Copies of this chain bind each other. A is one copy, B any other.
Amino acid sequence: MSAKPLKVALLGAGVVGSEVARLLAEQAPDLAARVGAPLELVGVGVRRTGVNRGSWIDPALTTDDLQGLVTERGADIVVEVLGGIDPARHLILSAFEAGASVVTANKALLAQHGAELHQACDAAGVDLYFEASVAGAIPLLRPLRESLVGDRVQRVLGIVNGTTNYILTRMDESGASFSDALAEAQELGYAEKPDPSADVEGHDAAAKAAIIASLAFHSRVTLADVYCEGIASITAADVAAAKASGHVIKLLAVAERSFDGRGINVRVHPAMLSRQHPLAAVREAYNAVFVESDAAGQLMFYGPGAGGAPTASAVVGDIVAVARNRISGGHGPRESAYAALPVLPLDESSTRYFIALDLTDKAGVLASVAAVFAEHDVSIETLRQEGHGDDARLEIVTHEAQEKSLAKTCKSLRDLDSVRRIASTMRVVGE
């Protein structure tokens, strides 16, 4: 074993940072054996020193001079678990300039400034690892970057936000309203108080979708490219309608090649998923990512998508990988963006669609509804009518059609006299 320790600087001592410090301390002999050299924590960057941060963080190691920690202590590896764009971004760039490799869990930063970070990393000849930025402890980015690199990924479907999956699970299993389920999630610490919007509106999932799409399709995808729709408008009636037709509603991050191969579609929205689909069984705050590729077929990765210890597991796994690279003299995979596939606008993506219409049931209504679908080239897969007279409901699932055709279809349906209202519309995903 190499006697010389590798120096680790830790930026951030919150929920994840303190768990990283714990694992580095508790597992020190194992980590040293696995790396081939001891890992030495040389400093912990915090906003305020003098705060008790538990038994795993030595107060003598804490500093509020984050810049100095990165550049002046000879760190081989800088671990960034601060979150947010700045100061994380300039600290990481400083780390690269100082010749350190970086491990980060920062999805927002990668989804917005990934290209800049990757370029700086390559220029410095060091490593940038970020397994913990998506789906917590679930090994997903390494499989996409390395295991599936000989294959051609067609589609990735992910449940990548635990908060919304918890809320939707409660709505599905107990019939709760969105607001009751949200309150319960807040009570249990799964959703933020007072403002749960980053999760509920899908922004957290959208950042992860950008990172997944970049890796799966060897193209640069940023947060701004991702169409994003949250779950706040999902009603108990939507959930019940999904249930009645053998589906479950999940907030999905979808990244797929467009049907004509011109580009990719990357989007986050609630979707109805068949109960037979492996993702349908992913309950509560668990995450899972389902990958379809040409040779490998259908794969799924499942586990806890958040939390201090799971996220720290992914961070420390990356620390070991980066440390091994420094000892072997090599480096990990570089940014692979050669394919440069454009992200197509939502209008040009295709999906199946569920539409529930409240209508006045009189002679010819079905024919006029069917004519609207035909006019916009949207083909109907299943149709189910319930009730009679002024209380009739029609539930339609379409075959795959372009978003723009579906939008036009809905507009025309609203113009029909016999349609009192469109009670619900929802994308349908998976076979």
Q: Which A residues form the contact surface with B (CB < 8 A)?
A: 19, 23, 27, 30-31, 33-34, 36, 131, 137-139, 142-143, 146-152, 218, 278, 281, 293-304, 307, 309-310, 312-321, 324-325, 328-331, 333-334, 336, 338-339
Inter-chain CA distance A143–B300, complex, in Å, is 13
- Would you give the shortest CB distance from A142 to chain B, in whole angstroms? 5
Do A310 and B297 touch across chains, with their CB atoms under 8 A apart?
yes
Query: Which of A148, A295, A325, A328 has its CB near the most chain B CB atoms (within 10 A)?
Result: A295
**Minimal Cβ-Cβ distance residue in B for A303:** B299
Do B147 and A297 touch across chains, with their CB atoms under 8 A apart?
no
Within the complex, which residue of B31, B312, B336 is in contact with A34, where a contact is CB–CB below 8 Å? Answer: B336
Do B313 and A296 touch across chains, with their CB atoms under 8 A apart?
yes
Do B147 and A317 touch across chains, with their CB atoms under 8 A apart?
yes
Contacts A143-B142, A313-B293 given: A299-B150 contact, CB under 8 Å?
Answer: no
**Minimal Cβ-Cβ distance residue in B for A137:** B296
CB-CB under 8 A from A139, the residues of chain B are 139, 142-143, 146-148, 299, 301
- Would you give the shortest CB distance from A333 to chain B, in whole angstroms? 6
Inter-chain CA distance A146–B142, complex, in Å, is 9
CB-CB under 8 A from A150, the residues of chain B are 23, 27, 31, 312-313, 315-320
CB-CB under 8 A from A334, the residues of chain B are 36
**Minimal Cβ-Cβ distance residue in B for A321:** B146
Contacts A34-B218, A150-B320, A324-B333 given: A137-B313 contact, CB under 8 Å?
Answer: no
Query: Which of A30, A150, A302, A317 has its CB near the most chain B CB atoms (within 10 A)?
Result: A150
CB-CB under 8 A from A147, the residues of chain B are 131, 139, 142, 314, 317
Inter-chain CA distance A232–B151, complex, in Å, is 37
**Minimal Cβ-Cβ distance residue in B for A299:** B303
**Minimal Cβ-Cβ distance residue in B for A138:** B299
CB-CB under 8 A from A336, the residues of chain B are 33-34
**Minimal Cβ-Cβ distance residue in B for A338:** B33
Inter-chain CA distance A303–B301, complex, in Å, is 9
Do B146 and A317 touch across chains, with their CB atoms under 8 A apart?
yes
CB-CB under 8 A from A339, the residues of chain B are 30, 33
Do B297 and A300 touch across chains, with their CB atoms under 8 A apart?
no
CB-CB under 8 A from A301, the residues of chain B are 139, 299-302
Inter-chain CA distance A330–B332, complex, in Å, is 9
Contacts A146-B142, A148-B139, A150-B315 given: A295-B281 contact, CB under 8 Å?
Answer: no
**Minimal Cβ-Cβ distance residue in B for A316:** B150
Pairs A–B under 8 Å by Cβ, sample size 6: A19-B295, A31-B150, A34-B218, A139-B139, A139-B142, A295-B312
CB-CB under 8 A from A295, the residues of chain B are 19, 23, 137, 309-310, 312-313, 316
Q: A137-B296, A300-B302 are in contact. List 6 more A-B contacts (CB 8 A).
A: A30-B218, A36-B334, A139-B148, A297-B309, A298-B303, A328-B330
Within the complex, which residue of B302, B316, B329, B331 is in contact with A151, where a contact is CB–CB below 8 Å? Answer: B316
Inter-chain CA distance A33–B315, complex, in Å, is 28
Contacts A34-B218, A300-B303, A321-B146 given: A151-B313 contact, CB under 8 Å?
Answer: yes
Do B299 and A302 touch across chains, with their CB atoms under 8 A apart?
yes
Inter-chain CA distance A314–B146, complex, in Å, is 10
